[in-house]
Amino acid sequence: MTIDSTTLATLEKQAIELPSWAFGNSGTRFKVFGTPGTPRTIQEKLSDAAKVNELTGLAPKVALHIPWDKVDDYAALRDYAANLNVTLGTVNSNTFQDDAYKYGSLTHTDAAVRQKAIDHHFECIDIMGSTGSQDLKIWLADGTNYPGQGDIRGRQDRLAESLQKIYDRLGDDQRLVLEYKFFEPAFYHTDVPDWGTSYAQVSALGDKALVCLDTGHHAPGTNIEFIVAQLLRLGKLGSFDFNSRFYADDDLIVGAADPFQLFRILYEVVRGGGLDDDSPVAFMLDQCHNVEDKIPGQIRSVLNVQEMTARALLVDREALLAAQNAGDVLGANAILMDAFYTDVRGDLAAWRESRGLPADPMAAYAASGYQEQIAAERVGGQQAGWGA
């Protein structure tokens, strides 16, 4: 199987947003290892993200996390990014690091704490106005550790009320995406544990509210591509946080732990129109590079998404439908697997070169001298955010 020009035209439009925090030092609760050259400022993170985009042509946007990426002048940051040929993307709120949020943020029983969390989101929306960002991404650490600790139902009602206030602040071109996660840091229940809860909450808000699907936020064995298909069908899949995991919310390089799962997800994206020009789906990475170098980690990630998208586009959908309708179980499965097993790396390398990009972005980065330069220039790099 080879990649045809229609597939290449689709791939050419692919844009994957990079998380600013992927460039900072991160780790586990046991240890955060430093990496030479780690950015000290958001400007340096943008410069690293721009390098990924320069070598791959795949990553023109950078997502911010507030307050981790707080600056005095967001319009100036927008210009700074533009000079590097990238734009500022999703603004991620953060209500998981203040003492006030120990028992919840948007769901808290105390109206003053809820208002503090709502005000933080208002600030994020103001920032979006200056940065030109489309999406406000909300992930909440809210939840409880023990049965009986909180009134699950009451928390859901307060969440709906708080989200409505945030939603009402959005501009016409702005959206709210609500990310779900079934555990951590709360271990008994979380207030937005699954796509159904996120869907119920955003549906009550209106058209500008959609679901964010982080691929690392499901119980092991969950059929994530089914959720993708369902949300696309309902018109409520707003964005992805891509990463991969072996056990929990590992935030490993996308496509590293289970390439076949990434293929199945991207096939449902293709099938559901998620790559169409009018698609509402934003593609973002949410990863941490604890032991590997961060810039090549991000390059590897966007290439993995591109390769798996190419393979998903290779599925002969007409033949697949015919086999499905004929009850040809093994034939249908073989059609899907043929595409999955196709090695597209050579074709993509040649195509990259034809567009003035390096055939091998990983090798080009290693040869560029950028890593040595930042390692020499930057002393005292920042943590990604947690514990900073």
> Residues in contact with ligand LRH, total (CB under 6 A)?
8
Which string of x and - marks every residue 168-197 that binds ligand LRH (by CB under 6 A)? -----------x-x----------------
44 binds Mn ion (CB under 5 A): no
The whole-angstrom separation of Cα 140 and Cα 143 is: 8
Q: At its nearest, how many Å lie between Mn ion and the CB of residue 74?
A: 22
Check if the beta carbon of residue 241 is closer than 8 Å to that of residue 215. Answer: yes
Out of 17, 54, 286, 293, which residue is the one contacting Mn ion (CB under 5 A)? 286
Q: Which residue is nearest to ligand LRH (CB)?
A: 139
Out of 249, 268, 293, 307, which residue is the one contacting Mn ion (CB under 5 A)? 249
Select the binding partner of residue 201 from Mn ion, ligand LRH, none (C-beta < 5 to 8 A, by kind). none
Given the complex with ligand LRH, which of 22 and 59 has the nearer CB atom? Answer: 22
For residue 358, what are the β-bridge partners? none
17 binds ligand LRH (CB under 6 A): no
Given the complex with ligand LRH, which of 186 and 339 has the nearer CB atom? Answer: 186
214 binds Mn ion (CB under 5 A): yes
Angle between the N-to-C axes of helices 361-368 and 294-314, in degrees from 0 to 180, rounded to the nearest 10 = 160
Q: At its nearest, how many Å lie between ligand LRH and the CB of residue 372?
A: 29
Q: At its nearest, how many Å lie between ligand LRH and the CB of residue 384?
A: 8
Q: How many helices (H) and strands (E) does the chain have?
A: 14, 10
Per CB under 5 A, which region of 111-119, 152-160, 210-218, 277-285 contacts Mn ion? 210-218
Contacts 24+ apart (CB under 8 A), 38-45: 38/294, 38/378, 38/381, 38/382, 39/374, 39/378, 39/381, 39/382, 40/378, 40/380, 40/381, 40/382, 41/382, 42/69, 42/71, 42/77, 43/77, 43/80, 44/374, 44/378, 45/20, 45/69
Per CB under 5 A, which region of 52-60, 197-205, 246-254, 277-285 contacts Mn ion? 246-254
Q: At its nearest, how many Å lie between ligand LRH and the CB of residue 219?
A: 15
214 binds ligand LRH (CB under 6 A): yes
Q: At its nearest, how many Å lie between Mn ion and the CB of residue 386?
A: 11
Which string of x and - marks every residue 233-272 that binds ligand LRH (by CB under 6 A)? --------x-------x-----------------------
Which string of x and - marks every residue 81-120 that binds ligand LRH (by CB under 6 A)? -----------x----------------------------
Q: Which of 156, 166, 163 is nearest to 194 (CA)?
A: 156
The whole-angstrom separation of Cα 96 and Cα 385 is: 11
E strand segments, the chain: 18-19, 61-65, 87-92, 135-139, 143-144, 175-179, 189-190, 209-214, 237-242, 282-285
Check if the beta carbon of residue 336 is closer than 8 Å to that of residue 315. Answer: yes
Which string of x and - marks every residue 36-65 that binds ligand LRH (by CB under 6 A)? ------------------------------
**From the centroid of its chain, how far is CA 57?**
18
Residue type, 42: I
293 binds Mn ion (CB under 5 A): no
Which string of x and - marks every residue 321-340 that binds ligand LRH (by CB under 6 A)? --------------------
241 binds Mn ion (CB under 5 A): yes
Residue 285: count other Cβ atoms within 10 Å of its Cβ. 24
Given the complex with Mn ion, which of 191 and 241 has the nearer CB atom? Answer: 241
Select the binding partner of residue 92 from Mn ion, ligand LRH, none (C-beta < 5 to 8 A, by kind). ligand LRH
Check if the beta carbon of residue 19 is closer than 8 Å to that of residue 65. Answer: yes
Check if the beta carbon of residue 60 is closer than 8 Å to that of residue 15. Answer: yes
Pairing of strands 237-242, 209-214: parallel
Q: Which residue has the tokens 């967001």?
A: 74
Residue ranges binding ligand LRH (CB under 6 A): 92, 139, 179, 181, 214, 241, 249, 286
